[in-house]
Structure 1
Amino acid sequence: MQLSFCKLRTHQWCFLLFNVLLFHALLFGADFVEEYLLQAFPGTYTDLKVLEVRERARKLDMTTARGNISQQYTINYPEACSGQDVFLLVLIFSAPDNAHRREAIRRTWANRTHVQECLIRTLFVLESPRSLSTQATVLREAELHSDIIQGRLIESPGNLTPKTLLAMQWVVTYCPFARFILQANETAFVNLMALGDYLLTLRRHPEDLYIGRVVHQEMPDREPNSPHFLSPNQYRDKYFPDYCTGSAFVLSQDVARKVIVASEEVHFPVPYDVFIGICVRKAGVVPTHSARFSGERHIRYNACCYQFIFSSANVGDDQLDSIWQDLRDERSCSLLETYYGLVACKALTYLDKFSFFNTGTISDADSNG
């Protein structure tokens, strides 16, 4: 028997409407709740310590220290921003031996150099490898592309926080007029066009901006046998301050300065993204949550969905090429196509949480991380 929508009774229409609403609530409800609960509000800077950090950051001048600072980098590129009005400075954290990944990023999403005639500058931030042959390869790569900054830090997961501070220090010293700084992991895909368009629409003065996918009320790891164990003597608070996950987040220039100043009083052995969250809290900066950043999640691909989102984690090299090919064509998605794309990639992303729905693309991406 063929179903006729015109002949449905009132209670049947109500049942269909209820299921449609329920489907959307389950799919997008968490994002709406996050956007509401994690909404950033301007701070009232009455705490004297906060005011002191903000004032010191405002007066921070790295000019006289440039000579000493340059010695902290094995490979430096001080002319990267000279004579250029940089709108968005992209810092991609990369492992020294991942030259193939860096090349994939250069020919895909980092190939975007402007958004609405505003300049985007992309650099890779590396540590120093233990292998001399790897270092020789990095030196040749830096000479060829002129887009690598390498600190005198031995490659190690425990050095990500010092690496972040070196990156912020480099920004303030050599690129002090860049309005925004995007910090991203090499395993991520970032839609620079969508992100740039969003940053250009900000009505307020670009200060105190720290935006990404916010983690709210995460508890420190109190398990003694865990590699990330943090005792109450090291960190007393029950929760970490809100922070943006390290896969991709954006800072305004003044926040980078505040991180440098506030970091002098932060000595906790915490992950680098939590470290940034602690520093910005000391400076009175509140993180802004955006569901368009994926955080640590891989977003299943849909062309119209990827035109809308800012980032997706754990994207493999092959998928980077296909995504970039679609975005480079700049096909305009209608409102309905965008809606369908968001529903499709959102639903498939949720299904990826179950092992029997996982695809080889995600596994390949994880191996690159």
Structure 2
Amino acid sequence: MCKEMSFCRLRTHQWCFLLFNVLLFHALLFEQARKLDMNAVRANDTHWYVISNPRVCTDQDVFLLTLVFSTPENSSRRENIRGTWANRTHVQGFLVQTLFLLGSSHSPTTQAAIMVESKHYADIIQGWFIDSHKNLISKTVLAMQWAVTYCPFARFILITDESAFINILALGEYLLTLRRHPEDLYMGRVVHQDMPDRDPRSTRYVSPNQYSHKYFPDYCAGLAFVVSQDVARKVYVASSGVVAPVPYDVFVGLCAQRAGVVPTHSFRFSGERHIHYNICCYRFLFSSADVGTSELPLIWNDLQSKGNYCNRQGKQKANNFRYSK
């Protein structure tokens, strides 16, 4: 409390000094991100990647790059996604590229199957770290690194999880309506004043010694969020200065805060919530969590239909979702 009161009583010139230093730091980080040279990564990509697929974006004007966090063993889910929402490769003529980001497996059999899968589809990126919940930050940093290294002209990058349903058409059409140059965009279901989980039994446990603040900064829920190319670069540069072992979506929020980027809230992202299937809702929303493997094809087939099959009750549910927080 004493420290907080002392901080509040800072004089005008002290506030100006602090503000100047913050602005200077952000300016230096911005310049570092703008001049980011990834040639060293390209020259030694086997240090970072088991599979890099570096030519996926070559000679292609990618509008939306989608990186799906997947587990090595879950090839059936990847196949399911390829046949449904990832099957949309263009929005109003603009290219959408979807890739799967994996860590490594302890199983030689699983790894051999992944190599075959990558050769067949050319949509796998794999890092050397073991794929686990504890290594999600490593996966996140690798995602940003790959995007700025091998797909540096993609206007937007969507980070999502294999458990989600993504409405690429709705999201892409929305991004096309933005009346500004696509910069400083970090958009998703924004979480406000989230408190660190202090339960040692939890997978999201953060000890006070590791992160002492009462609240996390605002951040986008990790199931699905979008960043513009410049934000991917800023987050990647800022990540080297963020060492708190927090959940990976909070980690992105900390990097964004360090880079002076403010998250933009969109209620069309469901966050960690599963939205009970309704065609009206699913035509409107951008994402839904925990969509079952058997449910994905049903949703996809419905959304491909040209007719409007929303009944009155369905439209009401969509409106309820539209105006929910």
Q: 1:64 Cα deviation (Å)? A: 3.9
User: Which residue is 1:188 aligned to?
Assistant: 164
Contact between 1:45 and 1:284, CA under 8 Å: does it hold in 2?
Answer: no
Q: 1:65 Cα deviation (Å)? A: 3.3
Q: Distance in 2 between matches of 1:303 and 1:55?
A: 45
User: Which residue is 2:15 aligned to?
Assistant: none
Matched, 1:255 2:231: yes
Unaligned 5+ runs, structure 1: 1-43, 350-369
Select between 215-224 and 246-255 the one with higher mean Cα deviation: 215-224
Contact between 1:194 and 1:310, CA under 8 Å: does it hold in 2?
Answer: yes
Q: 1:295 Cα deviation (Å)? A: 0.5
3-state SS, counterpart of residue 71 of structure 2: coil
Amino acid at match of 2:218: D
3-state SS, counterpart of residue 188 of structure 2: strand
Matched, 1:307 2:283: yes
3-state SS, counterpart of residue 249 of structure 1: strand
Q: 1:305 Cα deviation (Å)? A: 1.3
Which of residues 125, 141, 144 in structure 2 aligns to 1:165?
A: 141
Amino acid at match of 1:50: H
Which of residues 131, 153, 175 in structure 1 aligns to 2:151?
A: 175
Per-residue CA shift, 1:79-135, capped at 9, x if unaligned? 110000000000000000000000000000000000000000000000111111111
User: Which residue is 1:240 aligned to?
Assistant: 216
Q: How large is the Cα RMSD of the aligned pairs? A: 2.3
Contact between 1:299 and 1:346, CA under 8 Å: does it hold in 2?
Answer: no
Contact between 1:308 and 1:338, CA under 8 Å: does it hold in 2?
Answer: no
User: Which residue is 1:152 aligned to?
Assistant: 128
User: Which residue is 1:198 aligned to?
Assistant: 174
Amino acid at match of 1:144: H
Q: Distance in 2 between matches of 1:207 and 1:200?
A: 13
3-state SS, counterpart of residue 100 of structure 1: helix
Q: Distance in 2 between matches of 1:48 and 1:338?
A: 51
Matched, 1:103 2:48: no
Q: 1:264 Cα deviation (Å)? A: 1.1
Amino acid at match of 2:307: R
Q: 1:228 Cα deviation (Å)? A: 3.5
Per-residue CA shift, 1:155-194, capped at 9, x if unaligned? 2111110111011101111000000000110000000000
User: Which residue is 2:117 aligned to?
Assistant: 141
User: Which residue is 2:7 aligned to?
Assistant: none
Q: Distance in 2 between matches of 1:225 and 1:131?
A: 27
Amino acid at match of 1:202: L
Residue pairs, 1:20-39, within 5 angstroms: none
Amino acid at match of 2:244: F
Unaligned 5+ runs, structure 2: 1-19
Amino acid at match of 1:309: L
Amino acid at match of 1:57: A
Matched, 1:82 2:44: no
User: Which residue is 1:298 aligned to?
Assistant: 274
Q: 1:76 Cα deviation (Å)? A: 1.4
Per-residue CA shift, 1:26-83, capped at 9, x if unaligned? xxxxxxxxxxxxxxxxxx9952222221111111121243112343111110011000
Contact between 1:90 and 1:122, CA under 8 Å: does it hold in 2?
Answer: yes
> Percentage identity across aligned positions?
59
Q: 1:346 Cα deviation (Å)? A: 8.5
TM-score normalised by the chain length of structure 1: 0.78
Which of residues 173, 194, 206 in structure 2 aligns to 1:230?
A: 206
Q: Distance in 2 between matches of 1:320 and 1:75?
A: 27
Contact between 1:87 and 1:119, CA under 8 Å: does it hold in 2?
Answer: yes
User: Which residue is 1:116 aligned to?
Assistant: 92
Select between 312-321 and 338-347 the one with higher mean Cα deviation: 338-347
Q: Distance in 2 between matches of 1:165 and 1:291?
A: 26
3-state SS, counterpart of residue 211 of structure 1: strand
Amino acid at match of 2:207: S
Which of residues 306, 315, 322 in structure 1 aligns to 2:298?
A: 322
TM-score normalised by the chain length of structure 2: 0.89
Q: Distance in 2 between matches of 1:186 and 1:239?
A: 28
Aligned residues: 306
User: Which residue is 2:29 aligned to?
Assistant: 53
Q: Distance in 1 between matches of 2:267 and 2:53?
A: 34
Q: Distance in 2 between matches of 1:198 and 1:306?
A: 15
User: Which residue is 2:17 aligned to?
Assistant: none
Residue pairs, 1:320-359, within 5 angstroms: 320-332=296-308, 339-343=315-319
User: Which residue is 1:34 aligned to?
Assistant: none
Amino acid at match of 1:164: T
